[in-house]
Amino acid sequence: MKEQIAQIFREIFGNEPVLAFAPGRINLIGEHTDYQEGLVFPAAVEKGIYIAIQKNNTSMCKLYSFDFDQEYSFSLHEISPKKGHWANYVMGMVSQFAQAGFNAEGFDMVIAGDIPVGSGLSSSAAFSIAIGTGVAHLFNFSVPTKSLVLYAQKSEHLFAGVMCGIMDPYASAFGAKDKALLLDCRTNTHQEVIANLGEYSLLLVNTNVKHSLADSAYNKRRAACEESVKLLKIHYPQATTLRDIAISEIKEVEKLLPADLFPKAKHVITEIERVRMTSQALRKNDLPKFGELLKASHLSLSKDFEVSCKELDFLSEKSWEFEDVLGSRMMGGGFGGCTINLIKTEVIPQFQREIAEKYTHEFDINPDFILVKLSEGARILD
């Protein structure tokens, strides 16, 4: 991909580019905890977004997307979002740099990626971080990595209209090879945790479905958590989010909350604890415990938080039947996307055959399989 994108740039723009790369990410555990200032446990992966970029000595930015086979140009003097267009990510990052006092000049850019579409590996965050990494290097902007992450998040909010959390751009920027990031969404700080998987691998199984109620359900779940905090503050005045409620208080919380709110609050409180326990399990190299926690996370997301779907439940539950799968759960916001499976590497071909056959028979949909390796974060390529 690196050589290909450089060659495309030379053919289109007749110049030698700077190459940048930012990875997609997985989340080992910790779903729907970020907006309650909880803990999440993401890791960068090998697949991601590549950009080739070079100055063009004008006030224009000329872009070409290899994946969409589209060109787009905009003036640095007239930056405005174009609804639903991929170029918004470039305009958004340039705008964020300018607001911070880093004024880019005109440039040419080619964009390409190898993140599977709809896989939940967060190609949009990788795109924003790749742009930021390339532009900052090209114009010698001295930008701290955490600032780049915040620019990427704000760019998505303002230019792409996606109210994303901090986790995706953070993992893309700070990723470390063979490590996961124990990320605190209250302080926006992290600890690197070695993920020594030995004879096991992380395999994603893509349902290849996305149910339309995902966005509205997300808003309802978020509102339920906020309403729970308001009610719990009477008994726990120090609590500003569910992050502040200890796992030992679950029985008391059940007494204090209405029956429709308690399961949602329970998920967030217990999921934050599962993130802590997973980080401890990996530090002790206790993979069976990691697997148990994956299963517990799925059950909580499905039964308590109610963001799973029949396809995700089917893939998770069938995976649990395999002796060589230590754990499996839905990954991401829910209502489609992938499951993440901790599986013995040598049985992956057999697992793929059997799961594909069962899933296709049940839903008449072919699943996709994505083997992921934990990788380093965004960087300039030689």
Positions marked catalytic: 168
182 phi/psi in degrees, rounded to 5: -80, 100
Structure tokens at 168: 């995706």
Helix (H) or strand (E) holding 380: strand 379-381
DSSP string for 188-206 = TEEEEEE---TTEEEEEEE
Structure tokens at 343: 């599986």
The CA–CA distances, whole Å, from 270 to 28, 167, 290, 298 equal 15, 19, 15, 12
The single residue listed with the structure tokens 């029985």 is 251
Burial class (CB in 10 A: 0-12, 13-18, 19+), 374: buried
Determine contact, residues 168/175, Cβ cutoff 8 Å: no
**Which residue from 201, 166, 211 is spatially nearest to 337, judged by alpha carbons?**
211
3-state secondary structure 120-170: CCCHHHHHHHHHHHHHHHHCCCCCCHHHHHHHHHHHHHHHHCCCCCCHHHH
Determine contact, residues 45/24, Cβ cutoff 8 Å: yes
CB atoms within 10 A of CB 341: 28
The CA–CA distances, whole Å, from 95 to 70, 139, 151 equal 22, 15, 9
